[in-house]
């Protein structure tokens, strides 16, 4: 195939395959997420919360009631060649023992990271508590946005953006590195759970030179459409996906109101790409074999 992505067919419906809820670092509940999907007339969505599948069952039931196709998903934080990147897993078995075991470790690391960020803030005489952040997060997979929200609630910052700029961005005083899974292991973990592995928003991570090696490790697709990809990026990654024989996916990366206006509706992936994703998942399922727990 040649030409830019996305290709839209006459009368085609649309999907958003990159969405977050309160089960990681979004503000939407599953009910609010599905309500927004209905309002945006989406035919299919995937929940891709960070390092968790905690909200998938609830969201699936709500989608079924609303007549929207639901695709199980997650977004794994990984690294390759010293660069952080994110791997999206689609059509995963959310009861996979290997997946749940690994996610348990990721979630523990996230919780410890919150404690360390709060400790660094306390060293600057900022009176924030870990309990305040965890209570606000109310999930197994907390992240920096929850610390930012807690700083806003405490009156220390006027906005989450200010909290990141002053304290939480890389090289800021309360920034703490993440625990990063190797991208190769992330891809293997997704495949072991019967899923399809897709590189998220490559234009934001500057990993173009690594994509070919990730394909050798089993990468199945590229998220070409993303709310922070320019049209030039979308076309470039669409052409790259076709050249490498990879799937094309896309999504808004909506986190609700965490940093302003929700992004759902800004990206609409033509539905035939959803069909291709499902076909790939079915093909991989026929080839898959159990994977023992990844050791670290």
Domain ranges of the chain: 14-102+183-287, 112-168
Q: Does the pLDDT of residue 293 top 50, yes or no?
A: no
Q: Does the pLDDT of residue 286 top 90, yes or no?
A: no
Taking each helix axis from N to C end, the angle separating 97-123 and 144-153, rounded to the nearest 10 degrees, works out to 40
State the pTM of this model.
0.89
Residue 128 CB neighbours (<10 A): 21
Upper half-sphere CA count for residue 5 (Cβ side, 13 Å): 30
What top-level class would CATH report for the domain 112-168? mainly alpha
pLDDT in tens, 38-59: 999 999 999 999 999 999 999 9
**pLDDT band for position 247 (50/70/90)?**
very high
Domain 14-102+183-287 falls in which CATH fold?
TIM Barrel (3.20.20)
What is the reported pLDDT for 3? 39
Cα–Cα–Cα angle for 160, 149, 124, rounded to 5 degrees? 85
Q: Does the pLDDT of residue 109 top 80, yes or no?
A: yes
Q: Are strands 69-71 and 44-47 parallel, antiparallel or unpaired?
A: parallel
User: Which residues neighbour 267 within 8 Å (Cβ) at sequence distance 6 or greater?
Assistant: 16, 18, 225, 226, 227, 250, 251, 252
């Amino acid at each position: 195939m040649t030409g830019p992505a996305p290709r839209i067919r006459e009368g085609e419906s649309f999907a958003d395959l990159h969405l977050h809820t309160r089960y990681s670092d979004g503000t939407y509940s599953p009910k609010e997420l599905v309500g927004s999907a209905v309002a945006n007339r989406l035919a299919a969505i995937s929940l891709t919360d960070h390092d968790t599948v905690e909200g998938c069952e609830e969201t699936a039931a709500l989608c079924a009631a609303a007549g929207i196709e639901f695709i199980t998903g997650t977004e794994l934080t990984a690294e390759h060649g010293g660069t952080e990147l994110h791997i999206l897993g689609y059509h995963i078995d959310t009861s996979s023992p290997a997946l749940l075991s690994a996610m348990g470790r990721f979630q523990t690391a996230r919780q410890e990271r919150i404690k360390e960020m709060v400790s660094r803030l306390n060293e600057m005489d900022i009176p924030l508590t870990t309990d305040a952040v965890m209570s606000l997060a109310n999930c197994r997979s907390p992240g920096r946005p929850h610390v930012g929200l807690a700083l806003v609630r405490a009156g220390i910052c006027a906005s989450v953006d200010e909290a990141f700029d002053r304290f939480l961005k890389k090289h800021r005083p309360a920034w703490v590195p993440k625990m990063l899974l190797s991208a190769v292991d992330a891809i293997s973990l997704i495949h072991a759970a019967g899923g399809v592995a897709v590189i998220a928003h490559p234009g934001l991570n500057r990993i173009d030179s690594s994509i070919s090696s990730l394909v050798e490790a089993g990468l199945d697709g590229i998220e070409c459409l993303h709310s922070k990809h320019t049209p030039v990026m979308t076309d470039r990654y669409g052409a790259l996906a076709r050249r490498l024989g990879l799937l094309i996916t896309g999504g808004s990366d909506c986190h609700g109101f965490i940093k302003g206006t929700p992004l759902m509706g800004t990206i609409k992936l033509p539905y035939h790409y959803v069909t291709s994703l499902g076909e790939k998942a079915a093909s991989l399922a026929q080839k898959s074999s159990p994977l023992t727990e990844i050791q670290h």
